[in-house]
Amino acid sequence: MAAAAAALTIATSCSEDFLETQSTSAVDSGQIFQNTETAMMAVNGIHRLLYKQESTAPRMGFGTVMLWMDFLGEDLVYTKDNAQWKPDTQWTRHRNVDATVNKLSFKMFYEIITNANQIIDNIDDVEGSQSDKNFIKGQALAYRAFAHHYLVQLWAERYYPGKNNSQLGVIIRLDNSTELKKRNTVEEVYEAINADLDEAIKLLEATSATRADKSHIDVNVARGFKARVLLTQGRWAEAAEMAKKVVETSGASLDSHYYDFKQGRCCTASSSEWLWGKLGDQNIETVKLCNFYSYISNSNVSYNYNTPRAIYNLLYEKISDTDVRKSVWLPDAPTMDKTKLALAPNSNIYKWMSQKYIVDYPDNKSASYNGALYTADLPYMRLPEMICIEAEGYARAGNDAAARDAIYLLAKNRDPQYQKSTKSGQDLIDEILVQKRVELWGEGFRFLELKRLNMPLDRGPAPRPGYNQGGAANNWKNGKNPTNLDPLASNFNMYETQPIGEENRYRPADSKEWQFVFPISEIDNNPLCEQNPI
């Protein structure tokens, strides 16, 4: 009974820490809902839940979910056996009713909903201007929709466009009652999500309040949520129009230097491309292995240090040689000039490894390579995602010309030699989807993309007989480029110990494994919640 358990989040006493930081979710409702100034603290508390750190790794709120989405896919390749994320690459943790990460992620989304409900229920009666109330309530509604959307995408079957979607979804919580409930249908959940987002957009349009920074939700972020939902539902033209509105009115713009080799590459909220994100704060994020960049950046405390994250080589080969994004992954990393790499001392170096996130200085001389710097800003929504939604929506709606125009904006910025596409139909859609995969690599989208499109997980063919089969042999372990590679094979399971296993190379689109199982604590506390097939 996740919502009932999470109802204590706001109902506990107001701490001095809360009053100092204005960014905790543990507050007294009587104190917090005095006026709009104090009520805004409750919104900050919801945002703080997104990067709430637990005492052990890899538990760090929404960052955990983002990494999970990519480790469950094929585009982010796991290179070397270690303690973290192996169960996710093997598709076991999200299918384990006792898994702590599964439980905490499920709980986090319902905690967001609980906190949002508190705001929605109380904000109309507090002191303050209507404009400020609209700003606060609009964000709360957007957060509630955001949380319900992730819950239904992960713990239910996919949404089937054009069908009645009567399959079991998740429990909708629009108040903080402790009533035991059955799971709502997927269609009912999406109806609730859309109702919340429509009201959120209406309220955020009707406010003169402006956000202090990009950690807050404004009308364009709410529209971005709506575009995501519409795309998931297969409402193609509506998704395109909503995303286009964000592209044209948000004030965000593409940055031709976004992928420059520099400190803060892809992890600085000051980027003109960012619409919404977390602002990194090492005073709050004090557990070194409980933040997103501890598992994917170049930091000395990152698992990328001993287990480099690599790009799926067959996707890499689709990137034009003149595309600036191609420099983010290094197919010849073991033999490269090390001054061209952003590496902590003694890092493992593997073919096709990623350098997308440079948290520390790329010249390897920063004192923070002793492990002092390990977190940074984290993007939750960027303008390129909206461009890709606009392009895909138009293409699937049959408006190829508008789709070509949309994707041209992104592709030309990333590749100065790009020529506007002349493709149409499925070929155009495929081109757009490749652009999206490359652009949003490592940002928490791939599993969701595969699921919404009803595509199988396909990590590519194994090497054919007579070619290097991977593993520690033939230069995979000694810092050299391996030889005799099969040009048709994927780099999945090529590295060192082949920890993921050949049985995890493929998952059919209609298998039960695409649904997360509910934590056993949820089933025990609410017998009305029917478990997904185990």
- Tens-level pLDDT at each residue, the chain (534 residues): 554 444 334 433 223 233 223 333 445 677 889 999 999 999 999 999 999 988 788 889 999 999 999 999 999 999 988 878 999 999 999 999 999 999 999 999 999 999 999 999 999 999 999 999 999 999 999 999 999 999 999 999 999 999 999 999 999 999 999 899 999 999 999 999 999 999 999 999 999 999 999 999 999 999 999 999 999 999 999 999 999 999 999 999 999 999 999 999 999 999 999 999 999 998 888 888 898 999 999 888 888 888 899 999 999 999 999 999 999 999 999 999 888 889 888 888 999 999 999 998 888 777 777 778 889 999 999 999 999 999 999 999 999 999 999 999 999 999 999 999 999 999 999 999 999 999 999 999 999 999 999 999 999 999 999 998 887 766 777 678 888 999 999 999 888 778 889 999 999 998 999 999 999 999 999 999 999 999
* C-alpha 281: how far from chain center: 19
- In total, how many domains does the chain have? 1
Is residue 24 included in any domain, yes or no? yes
How wide is the angle at C-alpha 128 spanned by C-alphas 125 and 134, nearest 5°? 75
Q: Map residue 97 onto helix, strand or coil.
A: coil
Q: Give the Cα separation of 368 and 254 in Å (integer).
A: 30
Q: Give the number of C-alpha atoms closer than 13 A to the C-alpha of residue 209, restricted to the C-beta side.
A: 26
Taking phi over 0 as left and psi of -120 to 50 as alpha, with beta for the rest, 398 belongs to left
Q: Map residue 175 onto helix, strand or coil.
A: coil
Is residue 19 included in any domain, yes or no? yes
DSSP class per residue in 46-64:
HHHHTT---SSTT--THHH
Residues 6+ apart with CB under 8 A from 185: 165, 166, 167, 168, 169
Is residue 40 included in any domain, yes or no? yes
Is residue 518 included in any domain, yes or no? yes
Residue 18 pLDDT: 32
332 exposure class (CB count in 10 Å sphere: 0-12, 13-18, 19+): exposed
The residue type of 329 is: W
Picking from 153, 32, 185, the residue whose alpha carbon sits closest to that of residue 451 is 153
Is residue 105 included in any domain, yes or no? yes
Residue 24 pLDDT: 38
Residue 2 pLDDT: 54
Q: Give the Cα separation of 32 and 439 in Å (integer).
A: 40
Residue 28 pLDDT: 65
Q: Give the Cα separation of 293 and 301 in Å (integer).
A: 9
Task: Answer for the pair 218, 135: CB distance below 8 angstroms, yes or no.
Answer: no
Q: Are strands 309-311 and 274-278 parallel, antiparallel or unpaired?
A: unpaired
Is residue 425 included in any domain, yes or no? no
Per-residue H/E/C for 208-244: CCCCCCCCCCCHHHHHHHHHHHHHHCCCHHHHHHHHH
149 is written with which tokens?
A: 């959307």
The residue type of 504 is: N
Give the CATH number for residue 95: 1.25.40.390
Task: Answer for the pair 125, 133: CB distance below 8 angstroms, yes or no.
Answer: no
Residue 16 pLDDT: 29
Q: What is the DSSP letter of 435?
A: H
Residue 118 pLDDT: 96
Provide the domain limits for residue 114: 2-52+82-247+513-525
Is residue 166 included in any domain, yes or no? yes
Picking from 226, 196, 225, 26, the residue whose alpha carbon sits closest to that of residue 115 is 26
Residue 1 pLDDT: 57
Find the helix or strand (DSSP H, E) in which 277 lies: strand 274-278
Task: Answer for the pair 137, 203: CB distance below 8 angstroms, yes or no.
Answer: yes
Is residue 376 included in any domain, yes or no? no
Q: Give the Cα separation of 357 and 354 in Å (integer).
A: 8
